[in-house]
Chains A and B, each alone.
Chain A
Amino acid sequence: MADTLTPVLTDNWGDERAWTLASYEARGGYRALDKAFSMAPDAIIEEVKDSGLRGRGGAGFPTGMKWGFIPQDNPRPKYLVVNADESEPGTCKDIPLMMASPHTLVEGVIISSYAIRANKAFIYIRGEVLHVFRRVQRAVQEAYLAGHLGKNIHGTGYDLDVVVHAGAGAYICGEETALLEGLEGRRGQPRLRPPFPAVAGLYASPTVINNVESIASVPSIIANGHQWFASMGTEKSKGFGIFSLSGHVKNPGQYEAPLGITLRRLILLAGGMRDGHELKFWTPGGSSTPLLTAEHLDVPLDFEAVGAAGSMLGTRALQIFDDSTCVVRATLRWTEFYKHESCGKCTPCREGTWWLVQTLSALEKGQGSEADLDMLLDQCDNILGRSFCALADGAVSPIASSIQFFRDEYVAHLTGGGCPFDPALSTAWAGQEVNA
């Protein structure tokens, strides 16, 4: 069973003080660096291209191809920006990675920056996770002291400075152009594209923006070769990834496995569902990806198959909900999140999420009629694809998909005059109430 796991990024998480340089180096850390420095930058880009590594931040864009877009004849400086603004409900992989093994990321940053010929890199960390921010800061400091960062790294003549930047508490800053705005000290709202960041990103200079996990995967690809990486995963979704299971499984947590693994296997790895309960619905990649149900237990979790099932692989944030959960209530909670996080720039997201919450709240209380369900779907239709960035698309995903799969449950709220579920039963402490 456990052999389905492929611990690479998570391999050292259990080590004693895994986050320290000493611990990381003791396991061979920073050795990929010298191999990378012996290669031409373009060769590294080729290696990453050949590995088939696709962006781990959700969209799955080929990482090597993204690096190749950087116009190397542009006289302006090039920048690498690591998107560590992990805020998606259910997504919990970058933060544990940076907490447990920040040097994996730092090593990846160095190799990636060298490949795209950047002399300055930024790690933009979600501001709420101060402990992670401090840990990465300390790791960067250690790397400087050990000569992995700074001037003339490892005697190669290559210089790199890394800035660790804390966000200020906005989900939208995980959107790459909003992140750049925030990094530049402005209000975090997405930018008009084109120009794309590869051409004019941070400070109007060519910029690569990658997810933490993407960059952290680079050292292993360089160390072991692209064939090693491509030997894992499926035809078009190569390699391994961290699957974050949360919710009603016995052992929630991060499970690193090849892409293409099924939820059925992952639930087994996580010790199964809570006793006495069945899987009801789940998100494959965080709350922005349309819900799936028990009928999708055997869908291979790669970009293609999840897409074919009507959802998106996203960030492999598997939120598992069992039959104690009211889908209307869960959807309302997510929608409230999107309303709270809407940046306000464009109309459909700003006003639409405001309205969706009101409509859903009424439905949850059993107010309204079945016609309101169709109006809700029409609201979603007027938001989806009409907004400035993808935040609003994510906001309507759980609504549209939950009505698709659980329309009867919505109707039951209306006919029954309220929610038929006991919310206490879905809590982690259900059945453990202590009476004083």
Chain B
Amino acid sequence: MTLTSDSGATERTDLVTLTIDGVQVSVPKDTLVIRAAEQIGVQVPRFCDHPLLAPVGACRQCLVDIPDAGNGRGFPKPQASCTLPVAEGMVVNTQATSEVADKAQQGIMEFLLINHPLDCPVCDKGGECPLQNQAMSNGRGETRFEGYKRTFPKPINLSPQVLLDRERCIVCQRCTRFAEEIPGDPFIALVERGAMQQIGIAEDAPFLSYFAGNVIQICPVGALTSEDYRFRSRPFDLVSTPGVAEHDSCGSAIRVDHRRGKVMRRLAGNDPEVNEEWITDKDRFAFHYATESDRLTYPQVRDRVEDGGDGRLRPASWPEAFAVAARGLQAAGATGVLTGGRITAEDGFAYSKFARVALGTNDIDFRSRPLSAEETAFLAAEVVLRSSVTYADLEQASTVVLAGLEPEDEAGMVFLRLRKATRHGTTGVLAIAPGMTRGLAKLNARLLRTAPGAEAGALESLVEHARHGVDKNSIILVGERLATSPGALAAAVTAAARTGARLAWVPRRAGDRGAVETGCLPNLLPGGRPVADPVARVDVASAWGVDHLPDAPGRDADAIVAALLAGELGGLVIGGVDPDDTADPAATRAAIEAASFVVALELRETDVTRGADVVFPVAPVVDKAGTFVTWEGRPRSFEQVFASPSSLPDLRILAGIAEEMGRPLGFRTVAEARAQMEEIGPWDGDRATLEGLEPATPSQPGQAGGDFALSTWKLLVDNGSMQDGDKAYRATGRAPVARLSQAAYDAHGPTVTLTGDRGSVTIPAEPADLADDVVWVPANSFGNGVLADLASPGSRVTVTKGADQ
């Protein structure tokens, strides 16, 4: 998938040859001695050193003897191998061959331990602690220190989630360097000095970073712990299973640590091509949703009043539920499918095939959010099957244009990679956004100030204005929010074509891209085959062994809702959709109500399941294998962590219904679905094009009065239901505020009432870098969210002084 040329690695001419412990090794110029030693299998003990952080040389644990620095002269004293670059002809003797180095390391280790509490038996890090391990491998067995240790009251909160036990800290500065260098959130710093030196925060500025959890993982001692995991388990009781994070389209590698069928914590996996060694706090801490008390654990069917029942949902066996669902859908007639964006690619494939084979319809859409016909066409023409931009490419790009995308909130790993690119490289970021944000400032972004809805014009201007620096080495990243900005996606395509820049679509949800690839769209079949192309339909039909596939163009999610309300559709298969996320929450609720038969596939009890006729409990990602496709188009497969009998993957449920309907899907397991997907493969025929495309119009041309254009997106930490269950994590979120220009704030603040066509909300305001006629609010941080409580997408709102003024 990612084609990194091997030639670059083998044809390096800037190799430096040195001798370490008598072994000759050649490494690239500027390699640090500590890493060159790894090449010959020698691990020099270290604490402050971290390959992704700038060298600091603070802990001095990695001292080695250098009898020859490459110039014939040696260093008189041991040198820190984590700060010393290799030199041609250098001779290095580590603790493996040098008594001087070994004694030096043992001496440092002894110093580190004199003020360390040695409370390993009650420390969360015990068993996986670099200090503990290296004290064993490179320290003396008995201490000579008989004095008194430095102590601190313990612990202190650096944030609601991150706790610090200062007496355990060896002040290696990994955490403070991470905070400053990686996310750019330097809210923790060294304070005091000497042995009293410690990590601290300013009184009024806790360590509120979306990436704060990473410091817990890179802490080489047990000084940093999370409220969530502290004292919950011991490392040696845990079983680790690799996984892929399910909270965004970044595909971060994670490690799921579990004990007796329960996830205890999640850690960042190490994947240099994707998330390096970092994950967002959402990926780290938001996993309790799967064990909330309202998890569905058995199928339910409704005994309908008209059939003589009491009209309530009751538990049912799986076979009964399959049968009831199959009968009901067959009786309901025309049926639509709404899948939501959280599904794995395999589940998406099942939904796609279920719609076409079992229901005979193209009425399927994964977009449970504001969308447009323009976007539908864009996804088919420019997104599916394309993987022209990778994380690594972001570091090489001259300019990265962000449109309708706030990476810090909506794609954390894209944010970190862009920050790395802008800090260490020559990459510049140009943001098409209503104003400068904290996240954009950390990317040192240039702002092309653009009112919500006017992105098309800004994208068009990229071509004309050389000063924007958009050229063939540039990358344009468009977010899913551009769907409702009229003409924006088309303009992005044009801008990319005319400048030679590469274009990539960065959706928010983990399953979005996979759903595009597997055809959970009204205009696409699996593998990027256009529904409108008869050859493509025959291709899929023959692969699936069916006579033909429906040829009528399908309805998108909004049209499915409208058709249900109009009675044109009777049945609805719905999974993982929160009505409040959709373009018109009230209409979606009404459509579910209006549908004659609703089959719901859900994790937890929701308004949708309460109104459904058959409810199937679906397996969360820990309970099933699957694949998420990243925004780059990179498939990220993961295996099942737990075998739980109480729920099944969506694909198994759909297969069961389809079999009862007499139109089997031909697979029951994830492995079988994967095999079919492989078999069908990608489409090699003509792609859909954007020609003749009508620019999107706001789904409700909301000129319903109001002086302020509404800008909104979801914060990384918000009220999303998959973030339920960890209060400490939620408390690290940003307080919901309305952002206004200073003038508007002065006129209406500090608390404002916003009124839109769907209601009004009163929340605190803060001045921000916005035009005087733009107001920003977080999309899902208060009430039922902006779409339900305030205004329709693209509409305008009025701002008045808050009610309590």
Q: Which residues from chain A sit less than 8 Å from chain B, CB to CB?
A: 170, 172, 187, 189, 192, 339-348, 350-355, 358-359, 362, 375, 378, 381-388
Contact = CB atoms under 8 A, between A and B. Distances in A.
B260 interface: no
A345 B80 CA distance: 14
Contacts of B743: none
A347 B104 contact: no
B192 interface: yes
A350 B111 CA distance: 9
B171 interface: yes
| Secondary structure type dominating chain B contacts | loop
Contacts of A383: 107
A103 to B, nearest CB: 35
Interface string B737-770: 0000000000000000000000000000000000
A342 B58 contact: no
A230 B111 CA distance: 47
Nearest to A190: B57
B114 A344 contact: no
Interface in B108-164: 108, 110-112, 114-115, 144-145, 147-148, 150
A355 B55 CA distance: 27
A128 B63 CA distance: 36
B148 A358 contact: yes
Given A351-B111, A354-B114, A388 B57 contact: yes
B83 A192 contact: yes
Given A347-B108, A382-B104, A382-B108, A387 B192 contact: no
Interface stretch (B87-95, B194-202, B232-240, B526-534): B194-202
B197 A350 contact: yes
Contacts of B108: 347-348, 382, 386
B103 interface: yes
Nearest to B47: A347
A388 B78 CA distance: 11
B525 interface: no
16 contacts: A192-B83, A339-B195, A343-B193, A344-B171, A346-B57, A346-B58, A347-B60, A350-B111, A350-B171, A351-B115, A353-B195, A354-B150, A358-B147, A378-B107, A385-B77, A386-B60
A354 B115 contact: yes
B335 interface: no
A341 B197 CA distance: 11
Contact of A382 (B56, B59, B103): B103
Nearest to B190: A187
A219 B78 CA distance: 41
Interface string B449-483: 00000000000000000000000000000000000
B61 interface: yes
A347 B195 contact: no
B189 interface: yes
Contacts of B112: 347, 351
A352 B112 CA distance: 9
A354 B60 contact: no
A289 B58 CA distance: 24
Contacts of B189: 187
A230 B92 CA distance: 43
A285 B112 CA distance: 31
B329 interface: no
B170 interface: yes
B147 A386 contact: no
B147 A355 contact: yes
B57 A351 contact: no
A348 B171 CA distance: 12
Contact of B111 (A355, A384, A388): A355
Contacts of A378: 107
Contacts of A170: 193
Contacts of A351: 111-112, 114-115, 195
Nearest to B147: A358
A382 B139 CA distance: 13
A344 B194 contact: yes
A341 B55 contact: no
B111 A352 contact: yes
A204 to B, nearest CB: 14
Contacts of B115: 351, 354
A407 B170 CA distance: 34
B58 A345 contact: yes
Contacts of B78: 385-386
Contacts of A341: 193-194
A192 B103 contact: no
A113 B377 CA distance: 67
A354 B114 CA distance: 9
B195 A342 contact: yes
Contact of B190 (A344, A358, A384): A344
A345 B83 CA distance: 15
B56 A347 contact: no
A384 B78 CA distance: 10
Contacts of B196: 344
B55 A382 contact: no
Contacts of B197: 343-345, 350
Contacts of A384: 77
Contacts of A347: 58-61, 108, 111-112, 170
Given A187-B189, A382-B107, A344 B55 contact: no
Given A192-B55, A343-B194, A344-B193, 6 more contacts: A352-B111, A355-B147, A382-B108, A386-B107, A386-B108, A388-B57
B194 A342 contact: yes
A350 B83 contact: no
In order of increasing CB-CB distance, the 10 nearest A-B pairs are A382-B107, A344-B197, A385-B77, A358-B147, A351-B111, A342-B194, A354-B195, A344-B193, A347-B60, A347-B111
Contacts of A375: 144
B76 interface: yes
A64 B132 CA distance: 50
A187 to B, nearest CB: 6
A377 to B, nearest CB: 12
A359 B61 CA distance: 23
Contacts of A352: 111
A348 B197 CA distance: 14
B194 A350 contact: yes
A328 B199 CA distance: 35
Nearest to B112: A347
A124 to B, nearest CB: 18
Most A-side CB within 10 Å, residue of B83, B147, B193: B193
Interface string B15-53: 000000000000000000000000000000000000000
Which of B104, B108, B195 lies at the interface centre, i.e. has the most chain A CB atoms within 10 A of its CB? B195
Nearest to B172: A347
Contacts of A344: 171, 190, 192-197
B56 A192 contact: yes
A388 B195 contact: no
Contacts of A388: 57-58, 60
A339 B148 CA distance: 15
B59 to A, nearest CB: 5
Given A192-B83, A344-B196, A382 B110 contact: yes
Contact of B194 (A339, A358, A381): A339
Nearest to A338: B194
Interface centre among B60, B147, B148 (most CB of A within 10 A): B60
A359 B110 CA distance: 15
A348 B62 CA distance: 12
A358 B149 CA distance: 10
A288 B56 CA distance: 25
Nearest to B63: A386
A189 B196 CA distance: 15
A355 B145 contact: yes
Of B63, B150, B197, chain A has the most CB atoms within 10 Å of the CB of B197
Nearest to A189: B190
Interface string B294-335: 000000000000000000000000000000000000000000
Contacts of B192: 344
Interface in B53-77: 55-61, 63, 76-77
